[in-house]
Each structure stands twice: as C-alpha cells, then as structure tokens.
Amino acid sequence: MERLWGLFQRAQQLSPRSSQTVYQRVEGPRKGHLEEEEEDGEEGAETLAHFCPMELRGPEPLGSRPRQPNLIPWAAAGRRAAPYLVLTALLIFTGAFLLGYVAFRGSCQACGDSVLVVSEDVNYEPDLDFHQGRLYWSDLQAMFLQFLGEGRLEDTIRQTSLRERVAGSAGMAALTQDIRAALSRQKLDHVWTDTHYVGLQFPDPAHPNTLHWVDEAGKVGEQLPLEDPDVYCPYSAIGNVTGELVYAHYGRPEDLQDLRARGVDPVGRLLLVRVGVISFAQKVTNAQDFGAQGVLIYPEPADFSQDPPKPSLSSQQAVYGHVHLGTGDPYTPGFPSFNQTQFPPVASSGLPSIPAQPISADIASRLLRKLKGPVAPQEWQGSLLGSPYHLGPGPRLRLVVNNHRTSTPINNIFGCIEGRSEPDHYVVIGAQRDAWGPGAAKSAVGTAILLELVRTFSSMVSNGFRPRRSLLFISWDGGDFGSVGSTEWLEGYLSVLHLKAVVYVSLDNAVLGDDKFHAKTSPLLTSLIESVLKQVDSPNHSGQTLYEQVVFTNPSWDAEVIRPLPMDSSAYSFTAFVGVPAVEFSFMEAVAQLAGQLLIRLSHDRLLPLDFGRYGDVVLRHIGNLNEFSGDLKARGLTLQWVYSARGDYIRAAEKLRQEIYSSEERDERLTRMYNVRIMRVEFYFLSQYVSPADSPFRHIFMGRGDHTLGALLDHLRLLRSNSSGTPGATSSTGFQESRFRRQLALLTWTLQGAANALSGDVWNIDNNF
C-alpha cells in the first residue's frame, strides 16, 4: 500500500496542471506549522501533498503560465497507470472489509460461535481477540460447565429434603432465612424478600376427615382408616356427603361421558378416580359438572414405576394435591395479598362446591372389590385386584371433610444480577421451596438446582461475565397450594412485569420426569429449546446430544418433546395471566445444564432468541380444526373469514419484522433495543384486551380459560353437531347460540388482529388486510 501511495504522489508531481483548480496556502497563524510539516517531507515536495487550510483560486488564464516541459515516456505511463493503481487499492480494501463484515454478521445471526462480550460498556463492539478479555459462546459454555461442575448438587438436594418445608411453619421460616443468607453470600447485585398474607387451608387435628361405610338403611357403619390422615386436598369444600361409589378412571370429561354411555350415571354419587393425566382440581371440577357428590383420589400402582431412579409410593400412602381450579390465593382473586390490604369479600370461581379427599392404594383396593356393574374398559384396568375392575355402582359411603382456612404469611426470596445493556429487562428463573412433608422431590430438587445456578452464575460474574439483561432468581413459597407465592407476586406487579419480564424458566417438576426429555412451554421458546438441546450432551447415551437422543426415536422432535403449559404448573400464570413466555422441564438428569445454557442465551444474546413466527403455525393448526365446521356455519349464514384474515396479517407482520432485523445494522443499539421490545411482548399481545382480568384472569386466547379462548370457541362449534333444534339461530342454553358465537369470534379475531398490529411496530407501518 505504501508503494502504491508513493506512485500516486509521484504521478501527481509529474502530471500536467492545465485547466485544474489550484490551491494556495493561507498566510496567518498556522504558517509556521505548515512550514514544519514541509521540512519533515521529502525535499521539494509539493504543498499539495499536505492537508492544511487553503484558499480556493480559479484557473489562470490560458497562456499566462510557462510552457510545460515534455514528459518522458515512463512518467506518462505512470500518469496513465495512477488511477488504475488507486482503484485496485480501493477495491482490495473494500473487498476485505465486506468479507470480514459478512463473516462476522453471519456468525452472530447463527448464534453458534457468535461473539458474546462481557464488557461493562453498553455500546461495546464485538472483538475477535479472546486474549483481550472477550468471550465466545463456546467460552461461556465452558465457563458455565466448569463452575457448575464444582458444585455439590446431590448434597444440596439431600439437605433440603430433610428440612420441614410446610408453608407457614417454623421450619419454613428457618429455611427462608438460610436461603436468603446463602444468596447474600454470592456475587449478586440485590437480594430481598416479599411477604404476602394468604388464605391457606389445613386439616383440623381436632376434627379429622373421615370415610365410613353406610348400610342400605342409611346407618353409618365401619370407618375406613385414612392411613395418611395429614394428607388432604386443600380448598376442598367443607361438609359431609353420602352416595354410592362409582369408578371413573382419571375423571376426565371423556371418562365421565363414557361412564354415562355405559349406563352408570355419576349424578349423586361418589367418584373414585386415579391420580394423574389431569390435575386434582380438574378432576373435582369435572365431577362437579357431571353432578357427582364428592371425589376420592387414589394412586394406581400401575401408573407409578417401580424403577429405583423414579418416584414410587407405598401402598399405604396417599397423594397430596390442591383442588382450586386456578392459581394464587383463592380468597383474593385478582388482587395481591399484601398485609393490611382490604379486599371485597369474594372467593375464586375455581373453588369447588363438593368435597374431595386423597386415599391410599390399600383403601382403594378395598373399595374396588365392592364394586359391581359393568366391567371397566381394558384401558381403565389396574393392578390392585387379581380380577378386573368394575364400574359400579357399589355400596354407599359417607365422606366428611373438616379442613379449615387460616391466614398465613409466606415469603418469596429474590436475588438479582443486573444486566449491563438492558438492566430493565428480566430473565426470571424460579423454584418452589415449600412442600407438604419432608422428602418431597418436587421442591427439594428445584430449590437445590436454583441454588447451584445462583452459585454458578455468581462465579461467572467474578470471572468477568456480565449478562446483557438482568437475571432474576426466585425461591417461591406456597407452591403446593396452587402457585400461591408466584401468582401473588405477579398480581402485585402486573403493571410492571409484562413490560420487563422477558421469559420465565421453572425448575419445578424436573425430577418428576423420566429418561425422556419433555418441555411444557410457549411456542416462542420452541426453536431456542431445540438449539440448546443440540448443545447439551446426553447423560444416558454416550456420544449423543439430547437432541440426537430425542430424534433417534421420533424424527419430529417437537412432537416428542413439546407440551402445552398445564394450569398446575408454576409457569402457567406467567404466560396465561401476565403474557410472559415460560418453560418447565421434565427430565431426571441434566436439568441444571439445560436451564443454565438457556439462561445464557436469553440473558446474553444481543437479539432475543424468541421465535415470534411460531404463533403463525399455531394459528394455522387451530384453523384446521375450525375448518371442520365451515359448512355448518355457512348453512347459517356465518363465516370464519375474519379469523383467516387476522391470521394472514400476523404472518405478514412476523415476516416483515424478520426482514427488518436481517437487513438492519447489527451494532445499532437503539435499533436492537427497539426490536427486542417488540419481540419480548409478543406473548402479551395474545392476552385478550376485551375481557376483564378480574373476571377472566387467564386472558391468553390459546392457553387461557374462558369464553374468549380458541378452545372455548371450538367447544361451542362442536355443539353444531349435537344441537337438538337443528335450526339456525337456536338459543337453547345447552346448544349452539349464534349470538354467543359472534361474540367469541369477535374476541378471538380482534385479539389476533391486535397482535399483528403490535408486531408491525409503528402505526404507519401497519398493513391490515381487513
């Protein structure tokens, strides 16, 4: 390059000056400076080679300047070659610059070996030199795994599982202090506690719950021993009921419909149902809807594996579970339970009106032996009897439930690592701390993993790591009563969290999985989960990643792995109530690795790795179900066209945003933050703005509950096939109602359209197809 520049200067000296504009130095204070610069140059160098203040002079009149000497041939050749040499140099420089830019930009968008910087500088520039303090993704992985491996996870699980952890107990108060102290010892920016005063239901030791046989004359007979008297169903209705016993499998709506179709009516009877498939609350609600008097819930041994690494139960153990169809404190629905706050005297609509009680497998075996009636279907059979199960009815039973409600303080514990560029955006990870009795795997394992992740990330911070976004670690209280602690916190900070919380990662239920990995999650996180699975080695299959382990049995990995968020998950309220994407893992091993690498990506990637286009696929899949009824609707003069149009607008908005991001300047921090804000609020866009949070707290149109949801619309459309009147405009309360359908369609359509509009960005960028 220096030789090219020298030729360029030489060519300038020898080139003719006819018809050129010439520059003359300005006399003045800078004259001496310019003369010093000339002395440093070559002797006789023209002042044209210097960059200095000049005054502009026009070309001299033709003939007024001396005649130019004849140029020798090589000088002429140099003059002709000079532009080509300059052009070649510029092309080489430009090509090298573009090649480097494209290579760097491609690596960042792939999020593979992209450069992740741990500088405190908000407007940091990526640097390829690791030795100058910059970290690649592979370096962060190695750092995380190194510090995670230095922990003692099994010891932490064992120590936690031995502690008393019942919400509101003295043992829980001591554990709360110990965990807060443990967080305070780490390199965290903030540690604090939130206290809520909630209504919890406990058994009454002076008046225990009971179960008796009742003879044909109605006389109460022998008491059936409840071998686990302290195990109960929080939020069960209080009182006593008597009725014949009927076996109802898992207590799902389809089970109860099947029972009725086989000539066994649940109305007025006690239902015996198995643990599993759906929550306790859903079982009791379904029984109530079908007219049952009460519910007994038992653990079927055939549903519980006896393999040593997996959970197993004694035949004399009952299983604890709350029966509130909702989350949070059911006595302050929609409001946070802070101290001395007055609330209207209302209760959650999710509280049941019939009693429920868990029983052991031994007691269930005694009951099943007494049942007569039709033989249960093959898939309903279990392993408690040496003979087939029957549906019933059987002998009459009397169930008495005497649980009592008490106001109880619960404490959530928080620890925070502030982000360097987007500290007001939080990546939240939490685990339930409480448990009904010692040794409960759910909370002990989740709490231990949470503490190990806090220690690991704290060590990374001490070694130079600083996430782009804030990491918020939370230990929840009151989880066994229906995610009470987490829901009360969400209710208390609802107006803030939907603007600031990016993602919630739940560590609950991790140990309740098996050797197959499952993720209950929002569609926004599916692509990221796939990417992380490809980075984590399988603990069960040497030489394979978790992703390879999954696709080995099913090439459609997401069909094998991804599940919707259930209501009994602590992650459910984050998505269905607040509009924050959430995930809960179920896997016996490597959960800490999975969660940690997920946190690194979410907190440190420059562009949030949330796949906002996925919801277009979700809508398309559900529209396939709606299409089944298009003929029935057309016969009534109705159409689903508005839903199709809204879905099209969402797809176009998602693709437009994707193209904007791809073509934008990656290092523009203002643009990056603007895109991240639009991406992180996509989940919130699917909360219906047309229903009241007080009346319908779970406003999400895909995962919520209520008449505004897509599921409710589908259930209503199915009535078209069973409408007894068979005429358009029917208004039967049990059949299809056109006015209700129009309202449901409007709620769904305009929520989806609103999501498309919000994703488009500014109002002048919205291109509706309506």
Integer CA distances (angstroms), 4 to 7, 57, 85, 277, in order: 5, 29, 7, 77
Tokens of 360: 């052991």
Q: Nearest-CA neighbor of 660 among 607, 596, 602, 726? A: 607
pLDDT digits (tens, 9 = 90+) for 692-732: 887 889 999 999 999 999 999 999 998 888 754 433 433 34
CB of 126 closer than 8 Å to CB of 134: yes
Contact criterion met (CB below 8 Å) for 576 and 565? yes
pLDDT for 78: 56
Q: Output the pTM of the full model.
A: 0.80
The parts of the chain modelled with pLDDT lower than 50 are: 1-5, 7-72, 74, 102-132, 307-310, 724-732
Confidence (pLDDT) at 82: 67
Cβ-proximal residues to 550 (8 Å cutoff; 6+ apart), any chain: 516, 517, 533, 557, 560, 561
pLDDT tens column, 334-348 = 888 876 555 666 788
- pLDDT of 249 reads 97
pLDDT tens digits, one per residue of 55-111? 333 444 434 444 444 444 545 555 666 666 767 777 777 776 666 554 444 434 333
pLDDT at 262: 95
Residue 420 structure tokens: 């360097």
Distance CA 275, CA 277 (A): 7
DSSP string, 251-284: --HHHHHHHHHTT---TTSEEEEESBSB-HHHHH
Ranges of beta strands (E only) in 2-110 are 22-25, 54-57
Q: Strand 404-417 relative to strand 469-476: parallel, antiparallel, unpaired? A: antiparallel
Strand partners, 652: none
CA-CA distance, 230 to 21, in Å (whole number)?
A: 100
Angle at which helix 2-14 crosses helix 73-110, to 10 degrees, equals 140
Question: Quick one: pLDDT at residue 549?
Answer: 85
Spatial contact of 289 and 263, defined as CB atoms under 8 Å apart: no
3-state secondary structure of 456: helix
